[in-house]
Structure formats: C-alpha cells, structure tokens
Structure 1
Amino acid sequence: MIVDCAHYRDGSRQHEGPMPLEAAAARCTQGGFVWLGLFEPSPEEMERVQESFGLHELAVEDAQALHLRPKAEQYEDGTELIILRTARYDDEREEIDTGEISVFLAEHFVITVRQGIASELAGARGRLEGRPELLRTGSGSTLWAILDQVVDSYSPVVAELEHDIEQIEATVFSGTVAPTERIYFLRREATDFYRAVHPLLAVLGRRLQPSASSPTDLLPYLRDVHDHLLLVNEEVAAQRDLLTTVLEANIAVISVEQNKITLRQSAIMERLTIVATVFLPLSFVVGFFGQNFGWLVDHISGFAAFLSLSVVGLLLPCLALYVWLRQQRRRSV
C-alpha cells in the first residue's frame, strides 16, 4: 500500500497530497528526488515499483523478507538498499514489538518499504520537510531523517526494559524466587533488541564519510545519530549481562529454597526414624508376650510376675537402645 509519495526540489515539497506511482517515476528526471513510502506492499505492488524505478530483483526480494539484523547492500546501478530494524514497547503486554524498514536509496529517488506496526515514518517525513536546508542536500537527507527517528525510538524501549529488569532484580536480590520464565523472556527480548541495534553501528558507520549520499552538510547530523546509537548499544549490552547475572542469582535462590525444603524433610524423617526405632523393640516385646503359649499363661499368675515380665521387659530394650545411641553419637564426634 502506498502511504505517501512526494517530489522534493530546492528544499521543498513540489505538490500537496500523494502522487501516483507513474507520475512519481516521471518526476525523477525533473531534478530533486522522489520519496515513495510503502507499507506492507503486496508482491504485485512491489513488481510495479520495480518496473517503474528499475530496481534490482535481489533488492526487491530482500525488501519483502524479514531480517534479524540490519544490513546495507550496494548494487551496480548505484542504488543502495539499507535495511533497518525498528522497535516499540507495548505497555499492556510488556513486550517489544519489532518492525522493519527497507530503504532504496538512489540519487533521484528514495523508496521506503515498511513491515510491522512499529515502523511508522510520518514523523520523519514531517521533520525533514521542516528542514529545507537539509532537503537541499539531496536524497541522503531522507536516510538521516529515518535513522534519526529509528534510533530515537530505541530510547523508550531501553527505559522500559530497564524498568522490567529492576523489578526482577529487586525480587531476586531480596531473597525471593522470581519466575524463571519471565527472566528468560526478558533476556530473549534484550538479545533480539541487541541484534537490531548493534549491527546498525556498522551500517551507520559507513555513512560518516563524505559521499554522494552523505554530503558534508549532513555529516554532523549523522554523527549525532551515531553517538545516540552508541549509547543505546552500550545500555542494551549491559542489560543482557545484567539479566545473565540475575538469572544465575535466581537459580542460586531456588537452590537455597530447595535446600531448606530438603533440610526440613530430613528433620521430619529423623524424628520419624527415632520414633520407629523406639517402638520397634517395644512392638517385638509386646508381640512376643501377646502369644497364647501355655508356658506364658501358666507362669504369669500374679501382679508381680506381670510387672516383671511386661514393664521391665519394655524398659530394658529402651534402656539398651539409649545406651547404644549414645555410643554411636560419641564415635561420630
């Protein structure tokens, strides 16, 4: 879908409203440059754009595929393809939405192909149209405007990730077990975000030398974007390392909690073992004297015999068990 299409010359837009595709291709020969903006175009739309502007088939194929890393490709006809990864934090889901912008950059035209909801460029176009001195430098000014907006959109994502990490960090280092799945999810998001940010340094670094697409007047602005990107890259790398530390600390807290449970279970088993050990000889004695043998029936004829054979018979095994346990404890010490 064509979102906007405009012809820029002498630092200003030459008409109001979007321009048809065929008219835009014709304007490329009238000086200045044309900026065509597309959002998730269909294969048929991309085929029309390719025929109208003479794009390389591999470049068009790249623009329709999703990439994990930014990259830049130079083609023989002088057209350059720059692929950028965009990011936006969704507060309700507490997740990062990503998108992609493919920029076809040539002397007389710029074509941007957006994929995903986190790739809006209206702000970049409006900001550039308000800077006629930059528009006069040529089509490279559009790349500055796009890079500036993309890099600026990274900062809120870094801040929200930092907030989520601080919450997890406070939970873990207070000695409470945090959901391991949440930590893994945050680390995966930080890693995906890092893949969008770090390779862009190389792509942007290539623009910091004077060239046809990076005139001298644009270099200070590109260096400013590069400085902001360096800061974001350092923060995201630090967040990845911090999440690794938090994950290890959480595993340690889980181990401590498991050890506590094991110790409680061991203490319970120890008490049950003592009780079972005490009642084992008593059960034997009671069971033995509970048999209906004639000798037992004939010889337990009075209270004294009952007392000596029952009570004393129960106390002696307990006393012997007590002595044996004390001896075992002394040997272990």
Structure 2
Amino acid sequence: MISNLRKAARLPQPRQGGVDLSHPARSPLGTAVVNCAVYVAGARQDGHQPAQEAIRQVRETGDGFVWIGLHEPSEVEFAGIVELFGLHPLAVEDAVHAHQRPKLEHYDDSLFTVFKTVRYVEHDQLTDTSEVVDTGEIMVFTGVDFVITVRHGGHGSLGPLREQLERAPEQLALGPSAVLHAIADLVVDDYLDVAAAVQDDIDDVESEVFSVRGSRGADRIYQLKRELLEFKRAVTPLDRPLQELATRSLQFIDPRIKTYFRDVADHLDQVRERITGFDELLNSILQAHLAQVANAQNDAMRRMSAWAAILAVPTMVTGVYGMNFEYMPEKSWTFGYPLVMVVMVVICGLMHRGFKRNGWL
C-alpha cells in the first residue's frame, strides 16, 4: 500500500478552469490555507469549514484529527492558527521565515519537523551555469489531534499525497503520525528520483571527459559538484530526525508507525551513499580531466621543443655564414652552397627521425 502511495503521489493531476489544482500557490480564496479537513477513522468528513470549526468538532467528539495545509504563510496569516493550536513561537518563526535545515524538535503540545524538498531541474544540455536541483521546504506540526503542514517553494505540493491517503483510510486511521510518515516517505522517494537523474548527468560528463573533446569538461564538473553539495545539504541532516522517529518512543507518534519510519530511514541511507559515491566519482573524473589537460600540455611542449631543436640547426649554420668573414671554408667554392644545404637537410632529417621514434613528434 505504501509503495502505491509513493507512485500515485507523482501522477499529474487535471487542471480545472486554468488553475493547476495539484500545485496551488494559494487557495482559490487567495489565502495561505490550501486545504483544511477533518478525518475520523481515516475517512474525510464532508464539508469545508474553517480551522476553528474543524478543531472544535474534533475536540468535542474526542475522535479524529484535523489536517491543515498552508503555502508560504505570512506572520499575519499564520497568527490565527498559531493561537488556535498553541504552537511554540520558535517553531512558528522557523515555519514562516523558512530556510531551515532538516530537523525534529519537541515541544509540549506538538512535534515540529522540517523536510527539505528537492526537485530535479530538466535541461537539454548541462552547462557551467545549469541549475540541476531546486530545493524547497515542508514544515510539519504534529499534535494529538492535528497536523499542520507549511510548504515553501514552487514544488513539493501535498495535494496528490492527501488524495492518495484519503483512498487508504486504514493508514489515515493511525492519526497525524501517519501523515508525517507519508510526507517523509514522499520527500525521500523524491530524493531517490533526483539521485537517479543526477547519475545520468554524471555519466554524460564522464563520457565527455574521456572523449576526443575531453578538454572542455572542468566547468561542467564544478557545476555538478556545486549542485551536488546543495543536494547533500538537503539530505544529510535528515538522518538524525528519521532515526529518532524510527527508534525512539515519541509523544504524538503512533508506535505502529515506527516500522514505516525505519523503511524511510533505510531509503535515506541509500540516497546518502549514492551522494557520497557521486562526490567521489566527480573527484576522480576531475582528476582524470586535469591529468588529460596536463598530458596535452606536455605533449604540446614536447612538440614545440622538438621543432625548436630541429630549426636550431639551420639557424646556427646560416648564422655562422652570415658573419661575412673573408676567410671562411668553402665560401668561394662553387659547390659550397649546395653542400651546406644538403648537410642541414640531412641533420634536420636525422633529428626529426629521432624525435619521431621517441614520441615527441
């Protein structure tokens, strides 16, 4: 079931009225609240109601939870929800201003989790200025009867994920921690997809370096290393939060979900290993490229030195005979000039043959 959710979360959703409902920047009402729903026994309750009414309904009945999704809320837009759910000011500040590292923080009434989302940027050809990965953020407040997601960036929409979870009520019945797991699973699966795409770029660069045109690869290698570093900054810090979620007994996390978090942590380890391998491979490719450049330069210098040595012979002979002394051997002889020319050609030919045998020419 979980694997099906992963695949279905990436399916393109239809557009209605010119608005892409699967990736909304703002709700149709023009607010930061993209969605607000009540779930009881894993089933979404009918009707659209504001957050205040939704949480009141849940707490009066003592059953179910509220899932509120927001996109880049301002402090003013977020203030009402902060007061309603009693969110910690430090976590609220991080959620509003973003640019956080992946982390898991514990507060009295909630857990605050930060995920870095990563998207592969398609390009026809990798250049020294190509953007390879684009990052965003998803913050998740998890409480006893609520889960609040705050998304930053133009990608990583949770709309498709919400729809797929709603078709799996047995998973949603586990409460807010099931939503937290589904988000973690989606984010890490996206890491795997990005890693596979980056692998293709590295393969292209490697082929380029070891081709005849291998002299023009350093700029692309450095660009890939910069983008890989950004990818690494999104992935590596997430290891500790996932290990906590998978191994520790945490408030607001259903013990039955821990096994699923271990699976996500295993997938994250795969991504981290691939990134480490990518970095080492790029270092090797760069070293190979620099060695190729150095060899090409050495070869050019050998050729230039060989030709300079060959040309030094006629230069020396003509220099000697250009001194115009009165008494010089063969100067008044009829065959003097042809003899000197033949001697120069023979010596230059022998030198050229020697350099050719030694691989200098």
Give me the TM-score of the superposition, normalised by structure 1: 0.81
In the alignment of these two chains, the number of paired residues is: 304
Query: In 2 relative to 1, CA 252–308 (structure 1 residues): closer, same or farther, beyond 3 Å?
Result: closer
Over 3 Å counting, the alpha-carbon distance change for 1:320 and 1:143 in structure 2 is closer
- What does residue 318 of structure 2 align with? 279
**Match for residue 29 of structure 1?**
59
Identity %: 38
Whether 1:154 aligns to 2:186 is no
Show CA shifts across 1:267-314 (max 9, x none).
Answer: 3333333332222112212xx56xxxxxx9xxxxxxxxxx86476887
Aligned pairs (5 A) from 1:164-203: 164-174=201-211, 176-203=214-241
Aligned counterparts, 1:125-136, within 5 A:
125-136=162-173
Equivalent residue runs for 1:1-333 within 5 Å: 1-17=32-48, 19-30=49-60, 31=62, 32-67=64-99, 69-75=101-107, 77-92=108-123, 95-174=132-211, 176-208=214-246, 209-285=248-324, 309=332
**Alpha-carbon spacing, 1:116–1:167, altered in 2? closer, same or farther (3 Å):** same
Map Cα deviations across residues 187-234 of structure 1 (whole Å, 9 max, x no partner): 122222122222212111111134333323222322222222222221
Task: For residue 211 of structure 1, give the secondary structure of its aligned residue in structure 2.
Answer: coil
Q: What SS does the aligned partner of 2:134 have? A: strand
Alignment-mate amino acid for residue 36 of structure 2? C
SS in structure 1 opposite 2:97?
coil
Q: Is the 8 A contact 2:112 2:142 kept in 1?
A: yes
1:157-192 CA distances to partner (integer Å, 9 max, x unpaired)? 111111111111122234623421110111122222
Q: Is the 8 A contact 1:27 1:34 kept in 2?
A: no
C-alpha displacement at 1:89, in angstroms?
1.0
Deviations 1:251-280 (A, max 9, x none): 111111111222222233333333322221
Q: 1:177 to 1:318 in 2, by over 3 A?
A: closer
TM-score, structure 2 length as denominator? 0.75
Unaligned runs of 5+ in 1: 290-295, 297-306, 326-333
Instruction: Provide closer, same or farther for how the CA distance between residues 199 and 72 of structure 1 changes in structure 2, counting only shifts above 3 A.
Output: same
Contact 1:68–1:196 under 8 Å retained in 2: no
| Bigger Rg, structure 1 or 2 | 1
**Kept after mapping to 2: 8 A contact 1:70/1:82:** yes
1:115-140 C-alpha deviation (Å, 9 max, x unpaired): 11232111221222122222222211
For residues 280 and 100 of structure 2, the distance between their equivalents in structure 1, rounded to whole angstroms, comes to: 20
Partner amino acid, structure 2, of 1:131: A
Given that residues 39 and 66 in structure 2 are in contact (C-alpha distance below 8 angstroms), is that contact kept between their aligned partners in structure 1? yes
Higher relative contact order (CA 8 A, sep 6+): 2
Structure 2 CA distance, aligned partners of 1:265 and 1:72? Answer: 63
Q: Helix, strand or coil: the match of 1:284?
A: coil
SS of residue in 2 equivalent to 1:120: coil
Secondary structure, counterpart of 2:59 in structure 1: coil
Matched residues in 2 for 1:320 and 1:231: separation? 71
